[in-house]
Every structure is written in structure tokens, then in C-alpha cells.
Structure 1
Amino acid sequence: MEKYEIEFNQDIPKYIEISKYIKKMIDKNNIFDGEKLPSIRKLAKTLMVNEVTIVSAYKKLEAEGYAYQKMGSGTYAKRRDTNIKFKKEYSNTLKKISGKDLKIYVDFTGEITSSEFFPVTVFKDVLNEVLDRDGAEAFAYKESLGYEGLRNSISSFFWDNKVSTEDILILSGAQQGIDIVSKSIINVHDNVVVEKPTYGGALTVFKWRRANIFEVDILEDGIDLSQFEQILKKNRIKCFYAMSYFQNPTGATYSLEKKLKILELAECYDFYIVEDDYLSELIYDQKQYKSFKSLDKNDRVIYIKSFSKIFLPGIRLGYMISPEKYKEHIQNSKINTDISTSSLMQRALDLYINKDLWKQHINYLNMAYKDKYDFMINCIDKYLGKKVSYFTPGGGINFYFKIDENLKINSMDLFYSCKNKKVLITPGVLFYKNAEQGNNYFRLSFSELKKPEIEEGIKVISKILEKIPKR
């Protein structure tokens, strides 16, 4: 109890001084995130104050997001998210670069397919065919789960009719799916496990729900299972959010063995897996992959899939498959959120799939992106060399880099240095609960760039890193 030594000021209520002191200790990492705080009785005795004073201090810490309670266990420290400031800085900087200005930048931040690959002409013909066939009916909001034809096509084309159309819910993209799941199953102070690093949009949603977020390091073949099991043994986990293929930002893909083990743990420890199938279509290494959902025998997976990243971003379409336990909650939450997703776009996508145009589009994307992917690797090895370390994901659109630890620069400084040279990167601080964990990392996405731009951008990054002094 040596760390709890407070000199009280007579003019300030003691419970406020205690809460301020503990907050400062948490911010300085002298009290670790998730560390159990002393019991009310023990801390009251140590500080020689009334137990009610400690209760008030702990309540204030909870209200300010610095602590949470576990029923029957006690009060635990909760480190405040330190990347909010960086997210605002990054977002505001990108907002100022828009329209014509953006064209003079080499933009490695993109997360959608290049406009040169949009099947605009073909999709226009499909839209016209839908309007000729369905008329005004194409705009009707009738089916709360989504257009039945599209749900049938998803079941048949993507799941070989092994998933009932009644279990499929059409969404306005994956982000809405994460939001709906969060509203449906996560309550204040519920425990959620995420990969470290992970998609910033998911972190934002879980923080907004005031969940307790536990991070587990992600390796090339999925999360570190020993870390994961330690968390499961000590905490009652509600769900685990995972990007099973070509994870954003790292590009990691779960091995079959890890998927099976995590499904086993889900049943053993009674939690659910929220599977965000990010980019399973873009596979360059010819390996065969299976989703968590396809391996799920105990109805433990909430599966989310977006079509926006690889098709036409503006149409904002995706779908979700829910376990029986949460199906009604999730469907009601979707209805309460936006009633229905665009009926016209659902019908058009349904026809696009049934005409076998989807398959053609994905085959074309794989050929085009495989070429970019190989070129990207060549440029990285040629120009960045030992300045960074990374692994080749085998698919997707991202590469994630660790800056040589001997270089005196962090990811936000690198972001601004690159921006000044008309190159945009994504700093690693955005993908962690606490910003400092991402100081040595950055992400490059090649999806919206042509080969000359890729080479030019990587050359610029290389020259900037060459000028950085060593520690």
C-alpha cells in the first residue's frame, strides 16, 4: 500500500483528493490498466478516512471513466483512452485536404477499391434492368430483414444454402453491423476483447458503449492465445471482436488451428465471437481459408460482411448472420436504427450476383490487386529495407510496418513529415486503445494507387526515415 500515500489539503474534500491522486497514478502507469484497486475497508484504514469517503472517491473515478466495478470482486483501474487527441488531429488534417487538393498527394490511407475498378457501366445496366422489371416496387421498404431475393442469393451463393435466409440481416455496411451488435448485446462495463492493434471504428463503438476493453496482441496467425486465456480466466467476457482475414491494420489471418481453439474457448467461457469478414475475397497466396462462422458448431459467431470495400463504396451494403440467442435483439436494433437499407440497391446487387457478374468482378480484382501487391513488396524491399519490419499478409490491401526502434521518430511525427512531402500514411496510434502503443507503427494501403504513385510514395517515406537521427 506504499503507493497510496496522500497529503490532504483541508480546503478540498478528501474524496476528491483521493480520486485525483488515483487518476494521476493511472495516467502515469503506476497503477496499471485493469489492476484491482484496494478494498474500501483497506484503503480507508491506510488513509485513515471514513469508508464512505472511499466509496465516493471510487464512484467519482467510475463516473470519469477511470475505474469500473466487478460484482462481488471489487473496483478496478481503467486507463483513459489516450488516442482521442491523435484521432482528432489526424481526422482534421485529412478534412482540410479534399477535392482537387487531394489529387496532388500520394494517398496511402484509402480503404476502398480504386475507382478505376468500379463496375459502373455494368452496374448501371443492372439498375436499369431492375427498374424495368420492378418499377416503383424497387423503392419500397417492405422487408425489415432486407430484400428476400438478396438474402436468398447470399445464402445460396456465399453459404451453399447452409444458412437460413431468416438468419440473414441486410445492413448499410460493416460499421453499422458493429454498431448494432454493440447496442444489442453490450451493456455499460461489459468486458470486450479486441485484437491489438485493431480497427479504430470498432474501438470507437465499444468505447461509446462504455465497455471495458481488453486488448490481446495479434501475431501473423491470429491473437496470442496464452494472453487471451489469461483474460478469460480472470474476467467474464461478453464478446471477442475479430477480423478473421487480412486484418486491419496488420494484414494477419487466423490459422485454422487458432480458429478452432477460439471457438472451443467461446463455448467453454460462454462468450460470443463478432467476426468482421473484412476482405476475404482478395487472396493472392492461393491458400484456402475458412471463416469462424463456417466452423461454428455451437452458434457462437455473429458474422458481419460488407460489400462496400470491394464493390461500389457508395451503395453501403453488407449483411449479418446472428446466433439464435441474439437474433431478435439484433434485428430489432437494426429496425430502430434505420428501418430499412436501400431497396433499389439490394435488388440491383441481387441481380448482379445472379448474373454471375460478382464472380467476374472478384476474379478481375484479384488479378489487378495481386499485381499491385507484388509491386508494393518489391518497392518496400528496395527502398525501405531495414528502416522498417513487416510481414507479407498474402491478401487484402494493407501493409503494416514497425519503424526501426533505433530511429527517433513516432508515427504522428512521421505522418506530418510525409504530409509535408505530399504523401499520406495512417499512423499506428489510431489502432490502439492507448496511443503510445502505436508510436512505432504505420499502415500503408495500396488499393487506390497506381504503380508509379506507389513507388514515388515509398521513396519519399524512405528519404524521410534516412534523415531521422538514431537514438
Structure 2
Amino acid sequence: MEKYNIEFNDYEPKYIQIADNIKNLINSKVIKDGDKLPPIRVLAKELKVNNVTIVSCYDKLVSEGYAYQKMGSGTYAKKREITDYFKKEYSKEIKLIKNNYEKNIIDFTGESSRKVNFPINQFKRVINEVLDRDGADALIREEAFGYANLRETINKVFWNNSLNIENLLIVSGAQQGIDIASKAILNINDNVIVEKPTYAGALSVFKFRRANVFEMPVEEDGINIKKLEDILRKNKIKCFYTMSYFQNPTGISYSHEKKLAILELAEKYDFYIIEDDYLSELIFDDNIKHEPFKVLDKNDRVIYIKSFSKIFLPGIRLGYIISPESFRESIQNSKINTDIATSTLMQRALEMYIKEGYWIEYIDNLRSEYIKRYELMKKLINEKLKKYVGFFDPKGGLSFYLNIKDKEIKSKELFYRLKERGVYITPGTLFYKGSNLGEQYFKVSFSQVNQEEIISGIDIIKEELEKWHI
């Protein structure tokens, strides 16, 4: 017990000081992965603090990934994954280049429309029209579930008036939508299935909810149905999180057959599908049909989330969520508890933008521009990187997910080497749950780069891969 003893300072809460000491003991391997930590009363007596202090300390360790708890057994040390540290460092790097954008940076990490693609003058006119029409209401009136006219317009334009408006809520982007859905549907230790790999933001939400996460490897047309049912037979699953089109990061889209099979299993095994409709507007191949899970849902099993931020303007932070009837009240309460209301001016401006037909025109122009970048990047990868990487052709979306053929080349190391040359990629390790999987993969996106930058960036990637063993 001596190793737990510390000399307390006067400026930090004691539970934080105790937690920091235990983290140092875990990092230095004095406490090994899986070692049981002292019982609460024992450690409290040893350190001359009350039991609540140790409870707060252990809760902090669990929330930061340094410990886990077994019901009726106690608290156990957990070695932090290297990947967790890298995720934080990577996030800092990317925020830095976003906040201090430099012209000589080639950013293959971004997945939102660049300002040069956005009709700013047209949107400015729309905002002015909204202010002239609605006056102060456009700035001060708040509606907890979203601007009623926007909800109605979304239903009319995108869903052919097929929805119950009460089930449609406006949210501040897809990330908030995932968070709201998880709060409404998940309790501690509930079981969730995700794709492997998957969107890191969703993993963070489920981790924060303390859900048990099962990973299902993706194939070229979605997850393996047989393996999915094997998990469903053995475990009570609460929900399945999926990106139905151009899955992040792999770029795969679900086949019609797999969507129907998963919907049947959802009814059979009583679980719900959280569908993150990621980038379905950017289909570049006529053989891919726009048909989300929600459209095929006959048993009200799908919680549908759509963001306007990715392909429109990230700064407006708008999206919507469609809930099943059975979860309507829970999702509404979750939304209210998350924030009071979403920006009313932006909602009104977006509603007019969609209603007047500008949205469809904008998407058509955006798709035309992105097809050019997609075709160029695919051509260059085939011509210049084929010796070093393999890849799946997504036929839409905003990125390519590349598989490094040489097992000695790790994407995290490649990230640091490319960073020194002003090129930023997304290593595959960011898309897996708490492990160092994905080291042979990296993602390159083309939404933030022009054609010259794509050519230059791919050349630099080739050069770095070529000299790996020199």
C-alpha cells in the first residue's frame, strides 16, 4: 500500500491528486494492466481521506480509460492504449492547421466543403431576405424541436411528405444527433454494434455512455450478415450504428439486400438502427441507388440522422434526426437536455434556401466539382501509388481509404513524415475501438484540396513511401 501514499498539496482536489498518482503508477508499470486497485474503504483509511474522495478518484480513472469496474468485484487498472494518446495528439495537430490555415498545407484530412465551393453571395441574400421578412423573430424566437417551417420543408423536399413531423427534430449537426440518440436509447453496460472500422466521433459517444461496443468488420457491400446474427443470438443488442453510404472511413455503401436483411434482424432480435446518412448526396455512379435504411424501414426500427454541415457550410452546424414513434418522447427530452434550441436565424435561412430550389442547384454543382477531384485522385493513386497501396473504389463520397501493402510501414509514422512536408493524412488507427488496429491503413480526402494540390500531395506521398527502406 505504500506506493499509493502521496503528500497532498493545497491547491488541487484530493481525488484528482490520488488519481494522478495512480495514473503515474500505471504508466510506469508499477501497477500492471489488470491489477486490482485497493477497496475504497481500505485506500481511504490508508490515505486518511473519506470514502467519497476515493469513489470520485476511481470514477475519474474509469472515465479517462485508466481503470474499469466489475460489478461486485471492484476496480481494476487498465493500461492506456497508445492509440488513445495518438488520437489526442492528432486532434491537436488538425485543429492547429484548421485554425491557422496556411496556403502551403495540403490537407487530405478535411471532409467538408471548402469556402470556394460555397455560393456565399447567394446565401447572404437569403439571410437578408429572412431578416427583412421575420425581423427580430429570426434572432430571438426559439423552438426547442426546431423551426417548424424547416421541419415541414425537409419533409416535403427530401421525404415527399411521408413523415410525421413530430418525429423530426432539428439538431446541431450529426455528432449531436448521435449523442442525442445514444442518450435516449442507451444505459450503462448496454450493448452496441458498430462497423469496424468506424467514425471516431461515434465511438467517443458510446464510450462516454459506458456502453459495451461490439465491432463488425465491413465488406464491400456492408457488414457480414451471418456474423451479425451470431452476435445477436448470444447477446442482447440495443442498437447498431451504421453509415449507409460511403462509410467513414472505408467508403463502402450497403447493398439493397443487406439493408433488408439487417432490418429483418432488427425486428427479430428487437434492436434499433442508428443510421448516419453521411454523404448520400455525393453518389457518382448510377448503379448506386439512393435508398437509406429509413426508406426501407417497415417496422419503425431506424433512428435516422442527417447533417447539412458536411456538404453545405460547416459553420451553420445544422442537421436533423428522425425518431421511431416509440422513442419520440425520449429523443425530444434528450434534445432539450442537450441544448435549449439550435440557431434560429440559420434554420430560417436554410429553410428558404431549400424551399427556393437553391439547395438542389448547389448540390448539383458540388457533385460536378467533386467528381473531377474524385476521378483525378483515383487516377493518380492507380498510376503512382499502386505499387505501395491497395484501395476500394467508393464511387462517391469525399475520400479514399488506402491499404499499405508493406507491413513494416505504419500509417502513424507515415503521418509524421508527411506532416514535415506539409501534407496531412488520416491514419487508420483513429477508426478503431481502443487498439492499435488500422496501422496499415490511411485515408485521403479531396474536399479541401484543389486539383494542383491533389497532384502535388500524391507525389509527396509516393516519395515518402519510396524512401521508407532507404
TM bucket, shorter chain? 0.7 to 0.9
Give the aligned partner of residue 434 of structure 2.
Answer: 434
After TM superposition, give the deviation of residue 167 of structure 1 in Å. 1.1
Give the aligned partner of residue 115 of structure 1.
Answer: 115
Give the aligned partner of residue 54 of structure 2.
Answer: none
Q: How does 1:333-412 map to 2 (within 5 A)?
A: 333-404=334-405, 406-412=406-412
User: Equivalent residue of 1:102, what SS?
Assistant: coil
Distance 2:296 2:77 in 1: 36
Distance 2:77 2:236 in 1: 16
After TM superposition, give the deviation of residue 216 of structure 1 in Å. 0.4
- Give identity over the alignment, percent: 56
| Aligned 8 A contact 1:115 1:448 in 2 | no
Give the aligned partner of residue 185 of structure 1.
Answer: 185
CA distance 1:62–1:227, change in 2 (3 Å): farther
| Aligned 8 A contact 1:173 1:317 in 2 | yes
CA distance 1:98–1:132, change in 2 (3 Å): closer
**Two-structure CA RMSD over aligned residues (Å):** 2.7
Give the aligned partner of residue 4 of structure 1.
Answer: none
User: Equivalent residue of 2:201, what SS?
Assistant: helix
Give the aligned partner of residue 17 of structure 2.
Answer: none
| Aligned 8 A contact 1:109 1:444 in 2 | yes
| Aligned 8 A contact 2:33 2:79 in 1 | no
Provide structure 2 residue ranges, at least 5 long, that are not aligned to the other structure.
5-21, 36-57
After TM superposition, give the deviation of residue 65 of structure 1 in Å. 4.7
Query: Residues 8-40 of structure 1: CA distance to partner in whole angstroms, max 9, x if unpaired?
Result: x9x99xxx9xxx99x96779xxxxxxxxxxxxx
Distance 2:330 2:349 in 1: 28
- Match of 1:278, as an amino acid? Y
Give the aligned partner of residue 239 of structure 2.
Answer: 239
Give the aligned partner of residue 467 of structure 1.
Answer: 467
Give the aligned partner of residue 331 of structure 1.
Answer: 332
- Match of 1:268, as an amino acid? K
- Match of 1:436, as an amino acid? N
Distance 2:93 2:123 in 1: 34
Give the aligned partner of residue 456 of structure 1.
Answer: 456
| Aligned 8 A contact 1:292 1:301 in 2 | yes
Distance 2:294 2:245 in 1: 12
Does 2:220 correspond to 1:226?
Answer: no
Give the aligned partner of residue 309 of structure 1.
Answer: 310
User: Equivalent residue of 1:215, what SS?
Assistant: strand
Query: Residues 199-228 of structure 1: CA distance to partner in whole angstroms, max 9, x if unpaired?
Result: 000001111111111100011101122221
Distance 1:341 1:94 in 2: 26
| Aligned 8 A contact 1:408 1:469 in 2 | no
Give the aligned partner of residue 285 of structure 2.
Answer: 285
Provide structure 1 residue ranges, at least 5 long, that are not aligned to the other structure.
1-8, 28-58
User: Equivalent residue of 1:92, what SS?
Assistant: helix
Distance 1:101 1:331 in 2: 38
TM-score by length of 2: 0.84
After TM superposition, give the deviation of residue 84 of structure 1 in Å. 1.4
Give the aligned partner of residue 300 of structure 1.
Answer: 301
Q: How many residue pairs get matched?
A: 419
Distance 2:187 2:99 in 1: 40
Distance 2:97 2:168 in 1: 39
Distance 1:95 1:25 in 2: 32
Give the aligned partner of residue 176 of structure 1.
Answer: 176
| Aligned 8 A contact 1:275 1:304 in 2 | yes
Q: How does 1:22-33 map to 2 (within 5 A)?
A: none
After TM superposition, give the deviation of residue 251 of structure 1 in Å. 0.6
- Match of 2:291, as an amino acid? K
- Match of 1:102, as an amino acid? E
Give the aligned partner of residue 201 of structure 1.
Answer: 201
Distance 2:283 2:96 in 1: 34
CA distance 1:253–1:185, change in 2 (3 Å): same
| Aligned 8 A contact 1:81 1:433 in 2 | no
Give the aligned partner of residue 155 of structure 1.
Answer: 155
Distance 1:137 1:155 in 2: 23
Give the aligned partner of residue 274 of structure 1.
Answer: 274
- Match of 2:394, as an amino acid? P
After TM superposition, give the deviation of residue 398 of structure 1 in Å. 1.1
After TM superposition, give the deviation of residue 173 of structure 1 in Å. 0.4
User: Equivalent residue of 1:369, what SS?
Assistant: helix
Distance 1:221 1:203 in 2: 22
Distance 2:195 2:80 in 1: 18
Give the aligned partner of residue 52 of structure 1.
Answer: none
| Aligned 8 A contact 1:141 1:340 in 2 | no
Distance 2:344 2:229 in 1: 43
Give the aligned partner of residue 320 of structure 2.
Answer: 319
- Match of 1:403, as an amino acid? I
| Aligned 8 A contact 1:62 1:68 in 2 | no
CA distance 1:95–1:146, change in 2 (3 Å): closer
Distance 2:185 2:80 in 1: 23
After TM superposition, give the deviation of residue 371 of structure 1 in Å. 0.9
